[in-house]
Amino acid sequence: MGLLGWRLVTRDAWRSVLAMAGIAVAVLIAFVEMGFMNGVLDSQVRVVEAARGELVVLDKRRVHLDKWDSLLPIRLPQIAGLPGVAAVLPLYQAGVNLRSGIDQPDKRLILLAFSPDAPPLELGLDQATLALLREPNTVLFDRKSRPIYGDLAVGQDVWVEGRRLRLGGFASLGPTLLIDGALIASESTLRTFVPMDRPVMAVIRVAPGADIERVKQTILGLAGEDLDVFRPGELADREITYLRRAAPIGLLFGAGMTAGLFVGLVICYQVLYVAIRRRIQAFATLKAMGFSNGFVIGTIVQQAVLYASGGFLMGLAGAYFLYQELALRTGLAILFTAPRIGAIALACLLASVLAGLAASRQVVDCEPADLY
C-alpha cells in the first residue's frame, strides 16, 4: 500500500504539485490568522514577561493592563518591610505626546519610568545605557516601536509634552494593538513634566530561599482589599483570558483559521475525487484481484497524507517569510512556536484524511464489473 500510494502521487507529478499548492494556500491562511491572534495576545503581555522579579503587584481596580489605575504610595514601603521581600521595584507609566522635531506633528506613545538603579523590566539595557537614564532630561526610545515616529538617532532632541529632551539610546519592548511605541525615562525625569508619585505596577523580588507563594499571601494579607498580587505567568494568563472574553479575538481569527482549513479540505477532496474517477477501472481491477476495500481506501488516504505533508511544508515555508514581514510592519509578537506549528499540522492532516475518506466512497461502491 505504501509504495502504491507514493506511485500514484508521483505518477502525475504536475497535478500533485498543484494539489499541494492549493493545500499550502489554505495552510498559509490558517497560519496568518493564528499569527495575528497570538500576536495580539503575546504583544499585550510583553511588559509582564519582561518583569525582573517573582511577583507583580497591581491595584485591584486594574482588571487589565490597558487600565492604568495606580498603587497607593504607602503600599510600597509597607511591602518592602515584609519578611521574604528582597526588593520592591516600582514602574510608572503615562501617556505622552512626542515630537521628533520642532516642526513635526505630535504622536502619541507611552512613557515608562523607573529607577535606573533598580529597573523592574528587562529591556535589553546594559549598564552604560542605564547610566544615561541618570542624566537629567535624557530618555530612551523603544527601537521596536512602529515606524510612525520616523528615524530617531542617538543624541538628537525630542519634544515630550512640549519639553525638550535628549534621546540617549534605545530599549527593546515592542508595541501592542493599542500602543504604537514607548519612551523610557528615570523617575526624576518623568516628574519634571508629568508630576506623579503613584506607580501603576511594582515588581517584587523575593529573598533567596523564601517561599514565593507564602510571600504572595503575606502581601495580600497586608492590603488585599486594594491590591492584586500575581506571579508573572499568572498575570499573563489573566490578561489573555480577559482579552479573549472582552474582545471577539478568538472568534474572529478562529473563524479565519477554520475557513482556511476548510478550503484545504475541499481542495484535497476535489483532487482525490478527480484522480479516483480517472482511475476507477484500475481500482476495480484491484478489487477483482482480491484486494479489500480497506487496502484501496488506505491507498487513497495515504495519497491524502502525502498531499497534506507537501502542502503543509510549502505553507509553513511561506508563513515563515510572511511572519517576518508582518512582525516588522506591525510590531506585534508574531512568532512560531512548536505547539502552534503542531496544531496547524495536525488540523491539516485530519482535514486531508477526512477528504480522502470522503473521496474513497466511490471506490467502495465500484464493482469489478465496472471493468466491462
Q: Would you mind telling me the total number of residues written for the chain in this entry?
A: 372
Query: What confidence score (pLDDT) does residue 296 get?
Result: 73
- Is residue 293 within 8 Å of residue 363, measured between CB atoms? yes
Q: Is residue 368 very low, low, confident or very high in pLDDT (cuts 50, 70, 90)?
A: low
Pick the most confident of 7-11, 218-222, 358-362. 218-222
For residues 238 and 23, the model is more confident at: 238
Alpha-carbon Rg for the chain, nearest whole angstrom, is: 29
Q: What is the pLDDT of residues 255-265, one digit of tens each?
A: 777 787 777 77
Q: Where are the domains of the chain?
A: 2-44+248-371, 55-230
Provide mean pLDDT across the span 16-33.
Answer: 86
**Cell digits of residue 35:** 499569527
- Is residue 370 within 8 Å of residue 280, measured between CB atoms? yes
β-pair partners for 203: 56, 89
Give the range among 32-41, 84-93, 100-109, 190-199 with minimum mean pLDDT: 190-199
Q: What is the pLDDT of residues 79-124, one digit of tens each?
A: 999 999 999 999 999 889 999 877 788 899 999 999 999 999 999 8
User: What is the chain's mean pLDDT, rounded?
Assistant: 85
What sign for the dihedral angle of Cα 59, 62, 65, 67?
A: negative
Say how many Å lie between the first and final Cα of the chain, rounded: 25
Q: What angle do CA 91, 97, 102 make, to 5 degrees?
A: 130
**Cell digits of residue 31:** 497560519
**Cell digits of residue 5:** 500510494
**Cell digits of residue 201:** 505596577
Q: How far apart are CA 274 and CA 277, in angstroms?
A: 5
- pLDDT over 90 percentage in the chain: 35
Provide mean pLDDT across the span 288-300.
Answer: 74
Q: Is residue 287 very low, low, confident or very high in pLDDT (cuts 50, 70, 90)?
A: low
- pLDDT over 70 percentage in the chain: 89
Report whether pLDDT(360) > 60.
yes
**Does the model's pTM come out above 0.75?**
yes
